Amino acid sequence: MKTVTLHDKTFGLCISSAEIQAAVDRVAMAIIEDMKDSCPLFLVVLNGAFMFAGDLFKRINFNCEVTFMKLASYQGTESTGMVKKLIGLSESIEGRDVVIIEDIVDSGITMENMLNELYILQPASIRIASCLFKPASFTKKFKIDYVGFSIPNDFIVGYGLDYDGLGRNLPDIYKIN
Ligand code: IMP
Ligand code: MG
């Protein structure tokens, strides 16, 4: 099996690049169907979502805007449960249809924090597109509108996701051994 070693840990191939691209196709088609007439503002959550966002936007064939927010909650392979905002939002979202682009929803703490902050700014609507979702560790109530893959509760890397800074550049997704 294909493996990678990052710092002190070894990871085995879990989702291939081809499978990821097929999931991005599905997500893009669903977003196009729902949002094509509303010129949405896509809000990408950095760092992890950069690769998913890049692949997704190449398939979005209608007028839209793209902006970025930077959040961090993980240290090593554990969520700290506290979300740090490192770069805030620079534009108004009042009256806009917003689509949040995330790499992964795990406990849901990061996303819930972000939703609470965004709703204060009175957008017309907020949808969520996440490349990955871990239903077994999800503790919140909000709906995730578009999901690439629902996966078991293992720590994964690649396709934007990191282990202490490494692994974001891998085109496939790997799970910890
Ligand atoms: P949550 O707040 O527990 O939902 O965690 C969300 C954030 O933690 C994600 O946006 C990721 O950046 C990070 N994260 C969660 N699970 C993993 C994982 O398996 N590998 C790498 N990062 C992860
Ligand atoms: Mg993230």
110 in contact with ligand 1, CB cutoff 6 A: yes
Domain assignment present for residue 11? The answer is: no
Nearest to 73 by CA among 85, 61, 58: 85
- pLDDT score of 62: 98
Domain assignment present for residue 60? The answer is: yes
73 in contact with ligand 1, CB cutoff 6 A: yes
Is 106 considered catalytic here?
Answer: yes
Name the DSSP letter for residue 163: B
Domain assignment present for residue 151? The answer is: yes
In ligand 1, the atom with minimum distance to the C-alpha of 108 is 4
Residue 79 reports pLDDT greater than 70: no
Give the orientation angle of helix 17-35 with respect to helix 50-57, to 10 degrees: 60
Residue 55 reports pLDDT greater than 70: yes
Domain hosting residue 127, numbered range? 17-155
79 in contact with ligand 1, CB cutoff 6 A: yes
Domain assignment present for residue 177? The answer is: no
Domain assignment present for residue 39? The answer is: yes
Catalytic residue among 8, 106, 145, 172: 106
Domain assignment present for residue 55? The answer is: yes
Token pair belonging to 135:
């239903």
Mutate to test the pocket of ligand 1, among 4, 69, 74 (most ligand atoms within 8 A of CB): 74
Residue with structure tokens 């009042």? Answer: 94
- Percent of the chain having pLDDT more than 70? 92
Name the DSSP letter for residue 135: G
| CA 106, 71, 155, 56 torsion-angle sign | positive
How does pLDDT run across 103-116, given as a tens digit for each residue?
Answer: 999 999 989 989 99
Give the CATH number for residue 140. Answer: 3.40.50.2020
Domain assignment present for residue 6? The answer is: no
- pLDDT score of 82: 65
Is there a contact between 135 and 107 (Cβ–Cβ < 8 Å)? no
How many domains is the chain partitioned into structurally?
1
